[in-house]
């Protein structure tokens, strides 16, 4: 074996890749094929599913669940813009002004991960409840109307998703900003750029890789989220595509439609990512 490897040194990198490739084959490619296969079957749980290559299922679910698809993309887009708005200044401050508190601040950013995602969302439900201690206090004080509510509104769902995925944006953004040599900013101001111009001409373009990674890590899970929509929304008007898949699969046991919706979401996200990448292509993504 060792002798054989010595003669075929070029194969070593592929050997290193082998476990990962096998893993993806078993846990990604096969399920994908299975899902595509399920999507084109017909039948019910009672009578059994038969493979009929029913490709008509795709336009069917696309038409039926168009509002949910659109709502998911809309929520995910708003969430991503919000995380950029909140997370970029955070990452910037930690990277450039954090000083010796950098690690403490980063720890605070990932601190929420020490508690389960669902538990955290449920505690928000508790905090924001119509008669919970925030709104209850405000109502008692007469600051907001008795009928005012936060839960079960799009704002609640969007805030919840933003809160949950903020660290996924802040961490890659921080890494990208932290790598920027501060002397480049000094050089820009030395060359007659104001602080704003130095930011726009130097810091921002050099942080594009982090912006790209961070916004994708937020947008993609946000588009597929159903926990926040379920716990903080819970009405028909806040249902996202994730809730549709969950209902179809777990409640209705309608596996073909659930699989078809999932596939469409995946393809849509893939196309979106490629397009997004092209938009940022003009920038130096490799810096």
Partner 1 sequence: MPQPDVRLDRVTKRFGDVVAVDDLSLVVEHGEFFSMLGPSGCGKTTTLRMIGGFEETSEGTIYLGDADVTDLPPFRRDVNTVFQNYALFPHLTIYENVAFGLRRRKIPDGEIRHQVATMLALVELPGYERRRPHQLSGGQQQRIALARALINHPRVLLLDEPLGALDLKLRKQMQIELKRIQTEVGITFIYVTHDQEEAMTMSDRIAVMRHGRIEQLGPPEDLYERPSTDFVAGFLGVSNLIEGEVAGRDDRFAAIRLPDGTVLRAPSASVNGAPRVRVGVRPEKLRVLALTDEASSAANGLNTLDGVILDASYIGVSTQYLVEIASGQRLVVYAQNIETSGAAEAHPDGQRVRLTWRPEHTFVIGAAPMTPSDEQPEGEIHA
Q: Which of 189, 195, 253, 192 is nearest to 43 (CA)?
A: 253
Contacts of 82 (CB under 8 A, 6+ apart): 158, 162
Q: Residue 207 Cβ, how far from partner 1 at the closest point, in Å?
A: 10
Question: With CB under 8 A, what is the number of residues at the site for partner 1?
Answer: 21
Question: Which one of the spans 33-41, 72-80, 82-90, 190-198 is the region binding partner 1 (CB under 8 A)?
Answer: 190-198
Question: Which one of the spans 5-13, 82-90, 107-115, 199-207 is the region binding partner 1 (CB under 8 A)?
Answer: 199-207
Among 93, 115, 116, 197, binds partner 1 (CB under 8 A): 197
Q: Number of C-alpha atoms within 13 angstroms, CB side, residue 15?
A: 7
User: In terms of CB distance, is 97 or 195 closer to partner 1?
Assistant: 195
State the Cα–Cα distance between residues 174 and 89, nearest whole angstrom.
10
Among 140, 146, 190, 237, binds partner 1 (CB under 8 A): 190
Separation in Å, CA 82 to CA 93, 106, 223, 232:
17, 19, 14, 18
Q: Which of 282, 277, 284 is nearest to 216 (CA)?
A: 277
**Helical residues (DSSP H) of the chain, grouped into ranges:** 2-7, 12-24, 30-39, 57-64, 66-97, 102-110, 117-127, 133-140, 154-178, 182-190, 195-198, 204-206, 208-224, 227-228, 241-246, 255-280
Kindly state whether residue 277 participates in binding partner 1, applying the rule CB under 8 A: no
Kindly state whether residue 184 participates in binding partner 1, applying the rule CB under 8 A: yes
Neighbours of 53 (CB within 10 A): 10
Residue carrying the six token digits 């000083």: 99
Kindly state whether residue 26 participates in binding partner 1, applying the rule CB under 8 A: no
Question: Which one of the spans 163-171, 200-208, 215-223, 264-272 is the region binding partner 1 (CB under 8 A)?
Answer: 200-208
Positions 143 through 182 that interact with partner 1 (CB under 8 A): 181
User: In terms of CB distance, is 101 or 113 closer to partner 1?
Assistant: 101
Among 191, 200, 267, 270, binds partner 1 (CB under 8 A): 191
Among 12, 187, 200, 271, binds partner 1 (CB under 8 A): 187
At 19, give phi and psi (nearest 5°): -60, -45
Positions 205 through 234 that interact with partner 1 (CB under 8 A): 205-206
Question: Which one of the spans 109-117, 123-131, 149-157, 198-206 is the region binding partner 1 (CB under 8 A)?
Answer: 198-206
* Residue ranges that bind partner 1, judged by CB under 8 A: 181, 183-184, 186-195, 197, 201-202, 205-206, 283-284, 287
């Amino acid at each position: 074996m060792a002798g054989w490897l010595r003669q075929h040194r070029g194969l070593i990198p592929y050997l290193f890749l082998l476990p990962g490739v096998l893993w993806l084959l078993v846990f990604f490619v096969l399920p994908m094929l299975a899902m595509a296969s399920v999507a084109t079957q017909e039948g019910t749980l009672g009578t059994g599913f038969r493979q009929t290559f029913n490709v008509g299922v795709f336009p069917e679910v696309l038409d039926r669940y168009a509002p949910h698809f659109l709502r998911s993309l809309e929520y995910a887009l708003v969430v991503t813009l919000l995380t950029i708005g909140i997370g970029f200044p955070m990452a910037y401050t930690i990277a450039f002004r954090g000083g010796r508190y950098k690690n403490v601040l980063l720890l605070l950013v990932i601190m929420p991960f020490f508690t389960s995602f669902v538990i955290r969302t449920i505690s928000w439900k508790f905090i924001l409840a119509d008669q919970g201690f925030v709104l209850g206090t405000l109502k008692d004080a007469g600051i907001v109307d008795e009928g005012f509510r936060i839960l079960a509104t799009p704002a609640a769902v969007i805030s919840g998703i933003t809160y949950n995925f903020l660290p996924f944006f802040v961490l890659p953004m921080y890494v990208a900003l932290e790598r920027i040599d501060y002397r480049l900013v000094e050089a820009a101001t030395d060359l007659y750029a104001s602080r704003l111009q130095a930011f726009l001409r130097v810091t921002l373009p050099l942080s594009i890789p982090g912006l790209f990674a961070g916004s994708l890590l937020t947008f993609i899970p946000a588009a597929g989220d159903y926990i926040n929509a379920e716990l903080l929304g819970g009405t028909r008007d806040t249902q996202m595509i994730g809730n549709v898949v969950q209902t179809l699969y777990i409640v209705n046991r309608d596996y073909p439609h659930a699989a078809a919706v999932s596939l469409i979401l995946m393809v849509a996200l893939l196309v979106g990512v490629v397009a997004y990448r092209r938009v940022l292509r003009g920038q130096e993504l490799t810096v």
